[in-house]
Chains A and B, each alone.
Chain A
Amino acid sequence: MIKFKDVSKVFQLKGSQLKAVNDVNLTIDDGDIFGIIGYSGAGKSTLVRMLNGLETPTTGSVEVHGHDIAKLSGRELRDQQKQIGMIFQHFNLLWSRSIIDNVMLPLELAHVDKASRVAKAKKLIELVGLKGRENDYPSELSGGQKQRVGIARALANDPKLLISDEATSALDPQTTDEILELLLKINRELGITIVLITHEMHAIRKVAKNVAVMQDGQVVEQGSVSEIFNHPQQAITKRFVSENDTPDSNDTMMALDELVERYPNGSIIKLTFSGERSQSPVVSQVAKQRPNLEINIIEGSLHPTQTGTIGVLVIQLLGDADEQKKALQDFKTLKVETEVISRG
């Protein structure tokens, strides 16, 4: 169990102060994959770096597995740090060490004997899918492979907690998915709690169970991933959610613009379904209720998340403005999230 209690962090700059983390309260359960999302500078890194003592809170307390991290002495802190693994955006491997020596480093620091170190490192290298590359050097690996080494290294001391700070931000989409899969597998097979920082909603949707949204040092919204996806409250959350599944490619936007031009009395609506709603015939129901309206389906997609499936449908409503408004109301009563993308 991890508890942030009234945590704030103030950095002293030349002549001014910067409140990087502002009164954060969070609880993260054991075994969870907890996502923290926010734009650059929101304070995500500063917040999670308090978990392993790389940063100390200015006020408030950070409790990890029953220890108040800021109150630990040097030695106690180092012992705690050995039970927390961390992976980084730029991998932070030692280029002077071979893959296996990199993975063995945390074991050396924990004074594990040589034979056990080698055995453990080999097992982990196999777990992350790099068997056979033990004696290569990091410079001989691709970004995704380097991150796998980073993950193996982070797991060396059998941590209870794995912190991932933008671990996929330097990787291409395909590799990102592979690394996310690996994190999921680690969470399932080893039961390790994972705190995952990202600015990509995609990563949250794919692996996280719970999520906190950060803005200007504050957690502005938190809850289960499906809850946040389906009922985003804050403007910033809505932006993250729509970034993820609004037709955002240029082609689709152009096609939409064309539709709007051609049918000036129509409006384009994004519907978001969750859970059982994603399987029920909501659209045909509304179509039956509003026979004077024409409904034009533009694009649809399904996103499986760790807490249920989310469906997104982009439609165009054509017809009387009043009827359109009523149709929107119908969708709302059917518990479908609606968002007007553009009105003719």
Chain B
Amino acid sequence: MDNQGLSSYFQFKNVNWPNMWSATWETIWMTLVAMILVAVIGIALGLILFETRNKNGFWYRLLNLVVSVLVNIFRSIPYIILIVLLLPITKNIVGTIIGPTAAIPSLVISAAPFYARMVESNFHEIDNGVIEAVKSMGATNWEIIWKVLIPESTPALIAGATVTTISLISYTAMAGAIGAGGLGNLAYLDGFQSNNNSITLVATVIILIFVFIVQYIGDAFVKGTDKRGL
């Protein structure tokens, strides 16, 4: 039997490489598209949370309450349950529940709140004195956002985005298991269900390489933008 024991991991002749590469591209595509949306939505929500915190006024409080509650809810639902929960909505938005595109809504909805909280706390780390100094120069709120909040927290925003991207990669694998394609799907169907350990191993190694590359690029950008400790 060559599908049992340690040697079963190294039957590389059983690996369908074209399938493997297309699954790899699907994973990369899902991760990148989801991450771009997560970054935009996460920063927007983070800004709303930051700007409405500790403010007086009914609308500020209401907005803060609504966004916090939604963020907390979607951050707390385990991803595998969220996909299933969102199936009908996904079908409406994307038109299908199978394939990499179908995974995007659930990926974004689970990761954006996670990133939004990080963004909010990154903004809180900025020295209040700096914000006030720029305010005293006659800056509008938008100018504060574009010239202070975002530039001053860029390294932290990138570090948070790196962590989020890495969790997105593992989410795509989970999404794959229920039909979204990608390496998770391949490892599950062709690896686990067909008893082909080599495929599982190769898929794992590719995912690891992907994670390492993301981490490396993220670290490089953090270092390049951080001018605090030259």
Contacts and interface: CB of A to CB of B under 8 A. Distances in A.
Contacts of A79: 138
A35 to B, nearest CB: 20
A139 interface: yes
Given A96-B151, A137-B230, A81 B138 contact: yes
B132 interface: yes
Interface stretch (A86-94, A203-211, A300-308): A86-94
Contacts of A110: 138
Contact of B136 (A52, A93, A95, A140): A52
Given A97-B151, A108-B147, A92 B133 contact: yes
A233 B106 CA distance: 73
Interface in A126-155: 137-140
B55 interface: no
A148 to B, nearest CB: 15
A53 B137 CA distance: 10
A95 B228 contact: yes
A106 B136 CA distance: 10
B14 interface: no
Contacts of B134: 94, 105, 109
Contacts of A139: 227-230
A95 B152 contact: yes
Contacts of B140: 78
B48 interface: no
A54 B152 contact: no
Contacts, number: 67
B148 A94 contact: yes
Contacts of B143: 109
B77 interface: no
B53 interface: no
B137 A106 contact: yes
Contact of B138 (A97, A109, A140): A109
B151 A54 contact: no
Contact of A96 (B136, B138, B154): B154
Contacts of B127: 90, 92
A94 B132 CA distance: 11
Contacts of A138: 227
B133 to A, nearest CB: 4
B227 A137 contact: yes
A69 interface: no
A81 B136 contact: yes
Given A92-B130, A139-B227, A139-B229, A86 B154 contact: no
A79 B139 CA distance: 9
Nearest to A78: B138
B225 to A, nearest CB: 8
Contacts of B225: 96
B230 to A, nearest CB: 5
Interface in B173-230: 225, 227-230
A80 B137 CA distance: 9
A84 B140 CA distance: 16
A82 interface: yes
Interface in B65-111: none
B180 to A, nearest CB: 38
15 contacts: A52-B136, A81-B135, A81-B136, A86-B136, A92-B127, A95-B228, A105-B137, A105-B147, A106-B137, A109-B137, A109-B138, A109-B143, A110-B138, A139-B227, A139-B229
Given A92-B133, A109-B138, A139-B230, 9 more contacts: A82-B138, A92-B127, A94-B151, A95-B227, A96-B154, A97-B151, A105-B134, A106-B138, A109-B134
Interface of B: 127, 129-130, 132-140, 143, 147-148, 151-152, 154, 225, 227-230
